[in-house]
Each structure stands twice: as C-alpha cells, then as structure tokens.
Amino acid sequence: MLTILHDIGFTLRPRESAAIVGASGSGKSTLLGIVAGLDTPSSGTVRLAGQDLFALDEDQRAAVRARQLGFVFQSFQLLGNLNALENVMLPLELLGSNGARERATEMLQRVGLGERLTHYPRTLSGGEQQRVALARAFVVRPAVLLADEPTGSLDFATGERVMELMFELNREAGTTLLLVTHDSTIASRCDRQLHIEAGRLTTPEAA
C-alpha cells in the first residue's frame, strides 16, 4: 500500500488564512481533498466545527460540505451548460436557499461580472471564469474556503488580480482560508504556511 501522508496534524482558527506549500508530489492536493472529506484517509480524523467528518456517511459529508465549505479549483470546475448566473445560483438552489437569483446576481456584481450574467463559461476568459468560481464559492457564505492552485491556469497579471479579489472577499466574509499554492508570494500573504515534504508536515504546529 502506498502511503502519501504521514502523521499530519494542524488546527485552523476562525478567520485564519493558511497556505499549504511544498514540491510537486509532496501531498498538498491530497491533504486538501482529505480536509474536504472528498478523500477518505486510512486513519485519522478531520473536525469541522467540532464534527468528525469521517464519522459521517458520504451523504452526510456532502451535506456538511454544501453548508460549510467553499471550493476554488485551478481548472475552475464550472458547468459548461450553465451560464455564469446559473453556475453561482446552483449551490444556493441545492441548499434550498431563498432569493438564489438575487444573491447570485449581487455576488457576480461584487466580482465585476455584472454584465456577464448570461455568458457561458466557453465565452469567458480564464480570469472571468475564476471570478465566477470565486462568486460561486463565497455566495453560500462558507465557514471555510479551500483553494487548490487557484491561479495555476492564469497568466501572472490575471492571477494577481484574482488573488487580490479572493483575499478581499475572504476578509469581508470572515472565512477561514486553506490554500494550496506553489507561489511563495501568494503563500506569504497568508497568516501561516504549512510546509509539506514527502507527505510530512515540516512546519511546527502553531500554539
């Protein structure tokens, strides 16, 4: 059996931002998947707001993710058959939230896409797609935002603008941020950096 992560342990405080950094193949994205409850570890626990995710079945974990977590991915993960507004409305509709259209419209306006509501992903630039993804992540007002190399598919200038917007939204929402990045400049903007080498956390846990 291949062991990818070894004896990983850390705690994130409310509103804290932390960057997971390390070489390619060190286990960064695997760790993020486990934190989200998307991947199941062979041992250990992940607690979100006091709830052990792996004491729940998959449907229960999905319900917790829908209520508590926002996601931003390198590849945007937008649904191509939905326009920008529909993509942002979707998580609200899955939660049965009232006023989904109004809330999604406001969030897209906040990220500068108020005139792109009816545009489909294929007609948007990479930076615009990532801003839709940010709007979708924050519209549910998550307790925790998980971001996996959010600028990895963008050019430098566009990536800088997207990251500035992400940190702004994070401060406004008071969200806890856990970010995977290979970019030391982005990592330095976080409150803390968690360094992983060969599946082991080399940064001492903060007090």
| Structure confidence by residue, pLDDT tens digits, 29-79 | 889 989 998 888 888 889 987 889 999 999 999 888 888 999 998 888 999
Q: For 174, list phi and psi in degrees, rounded to 5.
A: 65, 35
Look at the pTM and tell me if it is higher than 0.85: yes
Segment 97-117 mean pLDDT: 96
Q: If pLDDT is split at 50, 70 and 90, which confidence band does 207 have? A: very low
Residue 141: closest CA among 199, 88, 195? 88
- Name the range with the highest mean pLDDT among 36-45, 49-58, 125-134, 179-188: 125-134
Segment 152-171 mean pLDDT: 91
Judge whether residue 86 has pLDDT over 60.
Answer: yes
Q: If pLDDT is split at 50, 70 and 90, which confidence band does 136 have? A: very high
* Euclidean distance between the first and the last CA atom of the chain, given in angstroms as a whole number: 34
Residue 120: closest CA among 78, 162, 151? 78
Segment 91-107 mean pLDDT: 95
Judge whether residue 201 has pLDDT over 90.
Answer: no
Q: What percent of the chain has pLDDT over 70?
A: 96
Q: If pLDDT is split at 50, 70 and 90, which confidence band does 103 have? A: very high
pLDDT at 89: 97
pLDDT at 27: 85
Q: If pLDDT is split at 50, 70 and 90, which confidence band does 206 have? A: very low
pLDDT at 1: 54
Q: Cα(41)–Cα(176) distance, rounded to whole angstroms?
A: 22
* CA distances for 8 relative to 5, 132, 149, angstroms: 7, 32, 20
Question: For the sheet containing 69-73, what is the strand order?
Answer: 69-73, 144-148, 176-180, 17-21, 192-197, 200-201
